[in-house]
Structure 1
Amino acid sequence: MARFLHIADIHLGFDRYDNRERTKDFFYALQDVLQRYAIAAQVDFVLIAGDLFEQRNIQPAILNQAQICFEMLREANIPVLAIEGNHDNRPYGTKSSWLRYLADWDFLILLEPGDVAAGELFYEPWNVETKRGGYIDLPCGVRVLGSYWYGATAPKAIEQIAAAIENLPPGPEHIVLMFHHGLEGQIARYAGALRYDEVLPLRNAGVDYLALGHIHKNYSVEGWIFNPGSLEANSIEESRYERGAYLVDIGAAGVQAELKRDYYQRSVVRLSCTLRGHETLEDVEQVAIAQVQRAIQSNQLNPDDAPIVELRIEGQVGFNRLDLDTRQLQQQLQALSNALIFLLKYEADSVTYASPLSDDASRSQIEQEVFVDLLTANNVYKKRAQALSRGMIDLKNLQLEGRSEQELYQFVETLLTSDSE
């Protein structure tokens, strides 16, 4: 029986929130997973099914993170087998990438099919001297094959891979293929996903374990297709997905794959509140603060974890929605929650009113009703909307008469301080 670790979509160098500590989270997650479920679990090998890096061009510190992790495995005599994903694949027309660099320095084995158009075999065995090859036969009794990132041509590439597998010389009993692509039906709004019948030729060709990457959500299909998901959430939305690392045993009894999720991950907390339109500006601020406080009291949010927090404010507000100082409120909530990153999603709309008007309404009537609607939508003025709207008509007329600014100011001051309606 052989044991291996299957991971994908590690995205070292992730920098979406421009936060150094968040970027380090992806390194800590990889380091912890390898320590727990590769070294401590004494696996025979580790698979990386694409997207080791967030970008094709990486900073020296990010390369150093990868080298630190792979040096741990090298010292434990655990080989790393990898393929490129769409994030870290070599640019078109070039022959090198940072994964190729790591392979040339014996940090990993980069399995790539040959260039058939140039006269190469599609699958050549791994050559330890040239550090090139498309597949490798391991002493633990497993043949592992690699692939490229194929994008929209993936269905055609699968046909080519299946044909190449059937033409390989006899080897170990079990076949594992790494393939960076997703199956349809796993997440919404994902164009270009493969149908099950499009990957079925691989099983017919003898693949026992299809090690996928690309989609950041864990899923498995019919006991031979496995996608662990990303090690860390690349967005707030992804935090709701189950994801992790597969610890796999493969032998005479078949495939036994267990998803491991107990490793270093930054806590992500998603909160929301809905406004009804009667709240004042101060009320909205207090509602937001109370929502975070309740999350802390219920242990949904632990400030000691320095979590990532999202608060979504929805519904309607009875004032100009732009009057809320979201930056100041966000800073206050971040301090309260001790969040590494606090995302305030202010999606509430201002309350709107539209009084019915007859088709023969005069211009003055239309103006009057427009003012009434605007005032009624504001919590401060809605009780005096009728009186204030008449005053605004009078103010307009005074302006048209050419009254002085002082006279206009005194009129407005009297209008706003008056208790009459």
Structure 2
Amino acid sequence: MKFLHCSDLHLGRKPVGSIFSTYSKERYEDYFRAFDFIVDKAVEAKVDAFLISGDLFDRKELSPDVLENAEKILKKLEDNDIPALCIEGNHDRTVKAGEKSWLEYLSQEGLLFLLAPNVSESGEISYPQWDGEKGSWVEIKGVRFYGVGYQGFLFPEYLKALAPVLEQDSQNVILIHTSVGNPDVVTGCIEKNDITLISSRCDYIAGGHIHTKKIFEDVNLFVPGAPEYWDIGESGEKGFFIYDTDKKESVFYNSFRRKKIESSIKINEGSNAEFFREFRKVLEEKPVEEGCLYVLNVRVPFGTFLDVDTLSVERELENLGALKGQISIKLGDVVVHDEKENEFSEIEMLEEEIIKANPFFASKSGEMTRALERLKLLHESQDLQEAFAVLDDLFSAVGGEKVEDKHH
């Protein structure tokens, strides 16, 4: 059999902008266009199952428009007898016990199978078979698909509970909203040793959470990346996999997404004249294309003042045809990490040293530094839902309790 594996679709995301913003409206539609493209490819390839490894939606609360558009696209799969298997991600999961999610609604409507572990009142984790309404695994054409979902710092416990359930002689595929990484640096990732608890019993582990394509062949983990840029600063390959269980072969396909152009210049003095001299050069090398996302990385020596109105430069890029222009200042020679990578900027290194000075937080300094950086970005975009998710994971990781989501 063949199945298509995608993740992190983030339907409903609307990047910051006024209600009249062309950028905000166009980007909102981009996520649906990317999803629609993948579904069309699944129909064209005549796959036997369609896997979504978390974050189908960008947040747990949905507007009627987001739900309607998602249903229309999922209906294509239903009309072509392709079952959609889905798990919760950190963006669209519910945090309150007993709270019903929109993913559960879609499952009840028959548009997807929402696979999730069962946790008893005593805390025991189990993986029951799908009973027609709910369950942790389903079997399609002899292949068993198990859903783990997003479990934050508790991933090792859920994988330990799953390992003895997996039959050695069965073809097993796992849907999990995570990737291999340092969980103290990238919230929601897991150590490779944790994946080895199940990898020997799995043909394919369908990962997610990380927005760039990654393959860990030694543990059978595949992460397709978010098909559309969740953040304009993201880089790397993005797309989806089609896996053949008989041939045990995976093929990666690039997603349909908005064109992004990224250029870099290095500034020594920081003067306005120096900046625009380099800026004009880079525009000749990489001109603006109509409707693109244009990111200009500006490398500035640490301690040098950049005498430039960056907002006006961004507006100039947009006047030249870019849907969005962004100037990203990089201090010193240290590469500032993107959303999911491990490198720290000089400012973050200083923040981490300050946190390390507190004996209570020292062991979690990397994770707290990363959370601070995410919260700074989210403050700019006013994305309260994601901010609460970051705090929720952070507080859980340092031994606190989950944040009650009381915002409206």
Give TM-score, length-normalised by structure 1: 0.70
Give the whole-Å Cα distance in 2 for the aligned partners of 1:119 and 1:295. 56
In structure 2, the residue matched to 1:397 is none
Which of 79, 82, 91 aligns to 1:78? It is: 82
Please, which moves more after superposition, 193-202 or 72-81? Answer: 193-202
Give the C-alpha shift of residue 109 in structure 1. Answer: 0.7
Alignment of 1:65 with 2:69, yes or no, is yes
In structure 2, the residue matched to 1:144 is 145
Correspondence 1:251-400 to 2 at 5 A:
251=246, 253=247, 255-261=248-254, 263-277=255-269, 281-282=272-273, 284-296=275-287, 301=288, 303-304=289-290, 306-315=291-300, 321-322=306-307, 324-336=308-320, 338-345=321-328
Give the C-alpha shift of residue 114 in structure 1. Answer: 2.2
Give the whole-Å Cα distance in 2 for the aligned partners of 1:266 and 1:316. 32
Correspondence 1:127-142 to 2 at 5 A:
127-128=131-132, 131-138=133-140, 140-142=141-143
Give the whole-Å Cα distance in 2 for the aligned partners of 1:212 and 1:312. 30
Please, which runs of 5 or more residues in structure 2 have no aligned partner?
A: 18-23, 333-408
Correspondence 1:76-155 to 2 at 5 A:
76-117=80-121, 122-128=126-132, 131-138=133-140, 140-155=141-156
In structure 2, the residue matched to 1:193 is 189
In structure 2, the residue matched to 1:15 is 14
Question: Given the superposition, is the C-alpha separation of residues 109 and 30 from structure 1 closer, same or farther in structure 2, using an over 3 Å criterion?
Answer: same
Give the C-alpha shift of residue 121 in structure 1. Answer: 8.3
Give the whole-Å Cα distance in 2 for the aligned partners of 1:162 and 1:283. 60
Letter in 2 for 1:256: E
Give the whole-Å Cα distance in 2 for the aligned partners of 1:59 and 1:292. 39
Letter in 2 for 1:221: F
Alignment of 1:179 with 2:180, yes or no, is no
Give the C-alpha shift of residue 269 in structure 1. Answer: 1.2
Letter in 2 for 1:259: F
Aligned residue for 1:72, secondary structure, equals helix
Give the C-alpha shift of residue 142 in structure 1. Answer: 1.0
Aligned residue for 1:102, secondary structure, equals helix
Letter in 2 for 1:284: F
Identity rate, percent: 27
Alignment of 1:247 with 2:242, yes or no, is yes
Alignment of 1:164 with 2:198, yes or no, is no
Give the whole-Å Cα distance in 1 for the aligned partners of 2:293 and 2:325. 6
Letter in 2 for 1:331: R
Cα-to-partner distance string for 1:323-374 (whole Å, 9 max, x where unaligned): x3333332222212x111101235689xxxxxxxxxxxxxxxxxxxxxxxxx
Give the whole-Å Cα distance in 2 for the aligned partners of 1:121 and 1:192. 19
Give the greater-gyration-radius structure (CA). Answer: 1
Please, which runs of 5 or more residues in structure 1 have no aligned partner?
A: 350-421
Contact 2:11/2:56 (8 A) holds in 1 = yes
Aligned-CA RMSD value = 2.8
Give the C-alpha shift of residue 119 in structure 1. Answer: 10
Give the C-alpha shift of residue 116 in structure 1. Answer: 3.1
Letter in 2 for 1:214: H
Cα-to-partner distance string for 1:154-179 (whole Å, 9 max, x where unaligned): 1111101112335xxx9x94111111
Name the count of aligned residue pairs. 324
Contact 1:326/1:346 (8 A) holds in 2 = no
Contact 1:289/1:333 (8 A) holds in 2 = no
